Amino acid sequence: MPPHKQIEQRLQQAVSAALPDADLTNVLVRPCPDPKFGDYQSNALMGLAKSRKLNPRQLAADVLSKLDVSDLCEKVDIAGAGFLNFHLKTSALSQVLAEAAKGEHLFYSKATQPRTYVVDFSSPNVAKPMHVGHIRSTILGDTLARVLRLLGHRVVTDNHIGDWGTQFGMLLVGWKKHETRAGSEPGDVETLAQIYKGIESAIQKETIGELGKRYPKKLEELGKEGLPESEIVKKMLNDLGANKPNDLSPTDVESRDELVKLQAGDPGNFAIWQKMRALSQVQFDTLYQRLGIKFDETLGESFYNPRLQQIVDDLRSKGIARESEGAMAVFFDDIPQLKDSPALIQKSDGAFNYTTTDLATLQHRLETWKPDEVIYVTDGRQQLHFQQLFAIFRRWHPESKTKLDHVWFGSILGEDGKPFKTRSGETVKLADLLDEAEERAARVVAEKNPDLPHSKIPEIARVVGIGAVKYADLLPNRQGDYVFSWDKLLALNGNTAAYLLYAYARIRSIFRKAAEDGGQRTEDRGQKSEDREQRTEVMLVVPEEIRLAKQLLNFGVVLEAVAEDFRPNFLCNYLYELAGHFTAFYEKCPVLKSEGQTRASRLILCDLTGRVLKQGLDVLGIETLEQM
């Protein structure tokens, strides 16, 4: 058990002795924000005192009189209005490092009560190339799943593919026209996307023509604003309320007809739909493999279709949903922030939507995996949707104890502060982004290490380039927008993946040199247990050694914070600080030039730092390199 957990456990026992009726849930110990006040801190006594109208400093003194941490701490201070500050003993610190060096732990512990999580992330649409907008959900979701698994939880990763809906009517029309015109089926997702774009453009032109015949002045007004066709159509339909069947363009009517045939199980349309899905899956698999991401489940929206009508009927029979202008909707009169935002679950034409499908998906997940928690990783624009979804589910299944979380994130911006796009204004395709990251990384690697054999550059560039993209996405607070900058992304200094990868590679080089000059090498894995026993005494004398050791100790605390708040940036910043502490230690404390126990002890510090860096980068989905 890490020292802060031992202190926390004993503090809870002391609080219980002083206040037998106290709720110990929030009696926690965390690292001190400022090391000058101590190593660990607890502010729990102030809340307990306030609720009982007690003097917090007096309560702190009473608890302290019942607390024995003399084997772990030099002293415990009462500060401010009732903070407890714990100053760790160097001997206790050395013992924890020695245990880690033996392989007993790596400064974190598995959950004593593992939970089951379903993590829903990535979720691209069929028949469209994955673009830069997919990367945040994909990388963030994968990292959260990795952290939770590392801490001992059961995790089911589910890629909820968009493979059903209105767009497939358009795609069916386009597919058939393309096949007639080109004499062959589309062979890739790029062609499918062009087909979709062509049909979408045709519908917009035809719709503008239809509406322009009846509302020429309105069309002329919007035309002067210089809006694209899609915006003109949207504005005219919204402003004029023109959404009746006779306002649809001929191609739109054709698309609706093809969609109805697909939903009715027409064999020809179903076969084409399956081919579209297969083409898209090839693209998905290729990109996920490049990113090192795997899913436990990949169920598209189509999988849940058989459940949808039953869900609508159930919600209606329970009085949760009611008819409104021919459609079925759920109203939230009792929830102020949702009062003006009813959720549609079935359109007037009988079609279902995302809310209905997500309710069916949630029902399936609860039946199949019985999760303690379901996490949805999407962009911030979907906040209203998930607020509605969660509110409906709580009314529908008030007995459920499953926790629902919407982990949302901001947008990726270009250096001009606008949404990140290509120079021509197109959305950046994910494959192109990864290609460019590897190409740029190759140039940086070749420039920084001209003696590196040419054959090694591609693999190093792959790890550095893709790692840099992932790290740049995970480093900012996820709820803010961030500016994408190639120069910052691949910099070898500053808080970047390249800097951390270089720090790890430098540590590995220490052990290569130690092996060359006859010194023992401490390996991440495979070292004989008797060797570990012989070389696990850790001497902490120099301040830089102590600071590095204390930073290592906080690895588990940070992992728990990431899992609790779904914020991988905590881990990014921790690893950057760890690399900084290691640099200061390495510059001040000679390792290979030292002798005897000092040399062995410092090699242990190097080894543990390397192992934590490697493990930390691994849960961020970033591979490491022995040499750069």
User: Which pLDDT tens digit goes with each residue over 358-415?
Assistant: 999 999 999 999 999 999 999 999 999 999 999 999 999 999 999 999 999 999 998 8
Region for residue 471 given its phi and psi (left: phi exceeds 0; alpha: psi -120 to 50; beta: otherwise)? alpha
Model confidence at 241, pLDDT cuts 50, 70, 90, reads: low
Report the percentage of the chain scoring pLDDT > 90: 75
Q: What is the mean pLDDT of residues 94-119?
A: 94
Two tokens, residue 83: 């903070």
Question: Does residue 424 have a pLDDT over 90?
Answer: no
477 contacts: CB under 8 Å, gap ≥ 6 = 567, 569
Q: Which residues pair with 409 in a beta bridge?
A: 379
Two tokens, residue 21: 């009726």
Model confidence at 535, pLDDT cuts 50, 70, 90, reads: low
At residue 240, the pLDDT reads 64
User: Which pLDDT tens digit goes with each residue over 572-586?
Assistant: 999 999 999 999 999
Q: What is the mean pLDDT of residues 418-436?
A: 87
Burial class (CB within 10 angstroms; exposed 0-12, middle 13-18, buried 19+) of 534 = exposed
Model confidence at 230, pLDDT cuts 50, 70, 90, reads: confident
User: Which pLDDT tens digit goes with each residue over 313-344?
Assistant: 999 999 999 999 899 999 999 999 999 999 99
Burial class (CB within 10 angstroms; exposed 0-12, middle 13-18, buried 19+) of 380 = middle
Model confidence at 531, pLDDT cuts 50, 70, 90, reads: very low
The label of the residue with tokens 């869900």 reads 311
Q: What is the mean pLDDT of residues 512-527?
A: 61
Distance CA 109, CA 50 (A): 33
Question: What are the distances in angstroms from CA 453 to CA 352, 457, 492, 497, 624?
Answer: 58, 7, 20, 22, 18
User: Which pLDDT tens digit goes with each residue over 277-310?
Assistant: 999 999 999 999 999 999 999 999 999 999 999 9
When computed from its CA atoms, the radius of gyration of the chain, rounded to whole angstroms, is 29
67 in helix, strand or coil?
Answer: coil
At residue 526, the pLDDT reads 41
Q: Directed axis angle between helix 457-474 and helix 430-448, to 10°?
A: 120
The structural domains of the chain, ordered by start, are 3-88 (3.30.1360.70), 116-164+305-413 (3.40.50.620), 167-264 (no CATH), 431-619 (1.10.730.10)
More confident site: 2 or 238: 2
Q: What is the mean pLDDT of residues 122-131?
A: 93
User: Which pLDDT tens digit goes with each residue over 447-500?
Assistant: 988 888 999 999 999 999 999 999 999 999 999 998 999 988 888 889 999 999
Q: Which residue, 583, 592, 604, 590, is CA-closest to 492?
A: 583
Q: Which residue, 618, 543, 576, 560, is CA-closest to 107?
A: 560
Angle, CA of 278, 284 and 290, to the nearest 5°: 140
